[in-house]
Amino acid sequence: MLLWLFLVAIASGAVYCDSCESCSNVTEEIILTQDIVASGDVCIDLKASKLDCNGHHIIGNNSSIGIYVPIDNTAISNCYVEGFQYGIYLNRSDNVYLTNNQVEGNEYGIYGEYADIYAFDNRVCFNNQWDFYSPTGWDTSNGTENQCDNADGWSDYGFPNECTYYCSIDDYQAPQVELIFP
């Protein structure tokens, strides 16, 4: 079994990591193999085309940044990011895909500065200041099926200035559709 995993890792070009240090500054696809706890200013300094946390947690110490994204054309999926000043910090990043992440219990959940992102099926809830926040605006970003309460200008498709769902699933928000018949 281990030989098979090793061969898959070589064939796919993926790097398996198990700490903030081993996940940072890697340029190949990254797959997280266990929960990690941050100890420095930035846990993961993402330089790879893809980060798949494989359902694992990235846990902060109520300061610093969970995942820092200073590059274009990358994807972050299946991550649970909690306990940071900034859960996911996008800095001058375009074409960033965020899929199936949970970003909760941070000061700012997803923070984008001059960022163009596509967010699908993320739960960005219970962050102290904002779930989605951008001092430069989310004008060129879009997404759907996200959960959040404090959107700060983020708009899921068909939901101006909010996510498709509120953070409590019991508060499902149905689309507001106006039917016009000829």
Burial of 180 (0-12, 13-18, 19+ CB in 10 A): exposed
Burial of 143 (0-12, 13-18, 19+ CB in 10 A): buried
Does a structural domain hold residue 132?
Answer: yes
- Which residues is 58 bridged to in the sheet? 36, 81
Does a structural domain hold residue 164?
Answer: yes
Does a structural domain hold residue 178?
Answer: no
* pTM recorded for the entire structure: 0.86
pLDDT over threshold 60, residue 151: yes
pLDDT over threshold 80, residue 41: yes
Does a structural domain hold residue 144?
Answer: yes
Asked if 58 and 46 count as a contact pair (C-beta separation under 8 A), the reply is: no
Average pLDDT, the chain: 88
Mean pLDDT across the stretch 81-109?
97
Does a structural domain hold residue 177?
Answer: no
Mean pLDDT across the stretch 147-168?
93
What whole-number percentage of the chain has pLDDT above 70? Answer: 86
Q: Which residues fall within 8 angstroms of residue 39, CB to CB, at 6 or more apart?
A: 20, 61
pLDDT in tens, 123-137: 999 999 999 999 999
Q: Confidence class of residue 169 from pLDDT cuts 50, 70 and 90?
A: low
Segment holding 23, helix H or strand E = helix 20-23
Q: How many folded domains does the chain comprise?
A: 1
Does a structural domain hold residue 8?
Answer: yes
Does a structural domain hold residue 54?
Answer: yes
Q: Which residues fall within 8 angstroms of residue 3, CB to CB, at 6 or more apart?
A: none
Domain that holds residue 26: 2-171
